[in-house]
């Protein structure tokens, strides 16, 4: 029997990546950061010099891109056409372009297809904006993580600083607000909570506490009869 799929959605800086990583580690599931995939397409667009208005060209580029997650020294890394782009996709330029790139229907179709393939055997924790609504609407466990705008900006700034990327919190707050607005108001697969997703407001919770809550949901579903094998 197939293991469950855990879908985690929410806005930028809600703590999805940290929490999803902990949950996957503790359950022995695979972790997939779908935002990294949109970022990799954005990076390829930046490098190609294609204008953001050229949707057909960007879609063709996304279709041709070979995107793979691989574990290196127990850390998940993203390879784009064989190049390790794990750090390159986190620059402010790639971050900013990832939102308009993710609004292009052809890009979404391509990445959703890849994401469904990655999750078809279950035993996966996938995080993004449309996992519970579009990618896996039948996921056994759906969670929508959120936090106040201030807390999300603080977390993103801290995350970048820990990676050695200089970050100004007010600039990050403005970038997050702009991306949230764009991600929630776009036509194709906008960021929204699935009706059957459990909302977790994480302002006053540690990542471990949020992970505990998700694992509890997972185990409760297992008791209800879903297979966790
Ligand atoms: O989670 P993130 O900040 O790395 O995501 C980068 C961009 O990709 C963000 O603007 C939203 C978009 N995205 C999306 O549209 N759908 C997803 N499933 C994941 C990310």
Around Cβ 55, how many Cβ atoms within 10 Å? 16
Ligand 1 atom showing the smallest separation from residue 98 Cα: 7
Distance 223 CA to ligand 1 centre (A): 32
Give the per-residue pLDDT at 115.
98
Angle at alpha carbon of residue 58, lines to 55 and 62, rounded to 5°: 135
Distance 224 CA to ligand 1 centre (A): 32
Give the per-residue pLDDT at 225.
52
Distance 183 CA to ligand 1 centre (A): 8
Q: What residues are in contact with ligand 1 under a 6 Å CB criterion?
A: 12, 34-35, 38-39, 98-99, 102, 128-130, 179, 183
Give the per-residue pLDDT at 221.
84
Distance 74 CA to ligand 1 centre (A): 24
Query: What whole-number distance in Å separates Cα of residue 227 and Cα of residue 229?
Result: 5
pTM score: 0.92
Query: What whole-number distance in Å separates Cα of residue 181 and Cα of residue 46?
Result: 22
Alpha helices (H) in the chain, listed in sequence order: 16-27, 34-48, 55-64, 92-102, 105-119, 149-162, 169-185, 207-224
pLDDT, averaged per 10 consecutive residues of the chain (229 residues), comes to 92 93 96 98 97 98 97 92 96 93 97 97 96 97 95 90 87 90 90 95 96 96 59
Query: What whole-number distance in Å separates Cα of residue 82 and Cα of residue 79?
Result: 5
């Amino acid at each position: 029997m197939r293991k469950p799929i855990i879908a985690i959605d929410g806005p930028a800086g809600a703590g999805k990546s940290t929490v999803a990583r902990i949950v996957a580690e503790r359950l022995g599931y695979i972790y997939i950061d779908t935002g990294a995939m949109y970022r990799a397409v954005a990076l390829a667009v930046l490098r190609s010099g294609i204008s953001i208005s050229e949707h057909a060209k960007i879609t063709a580029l996304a279709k041709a891109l070979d995107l793979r997650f691989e574990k290196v020294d127990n850390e998940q890394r993203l390879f784009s056409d064989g190049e390790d782009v794990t750090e390159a996709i986190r620059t402010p330029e790639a971050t900013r372009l990832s939102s308009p790139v993710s609004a292009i229907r052809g890009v979404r179709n391509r990445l959703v297809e890849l994401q469904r393939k990655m999750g078809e055997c279950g035993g996966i924790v996938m995080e993004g904006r449309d996992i519970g609504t579009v990618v896996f609407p039948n996921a056994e466990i759906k969670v929508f993580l959120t936090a106040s705008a201030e807390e999300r900006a603080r977390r993103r700034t801290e995350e970048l600083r820990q990676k050695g990327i200089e970050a100004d919190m007010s600039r990050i707050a403005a970038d997050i607000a702009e991306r949230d607005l764009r991600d929630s108001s776009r036509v194709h697969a906008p960021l929204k909570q699935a009706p059957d997703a459990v909302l977790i407001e994480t302002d006053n919770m540690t990542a471990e506490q949020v992970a505990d809550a998700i694992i509890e949901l997972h185990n409760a579903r297992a008791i209800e009869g879903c297979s966790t094998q």
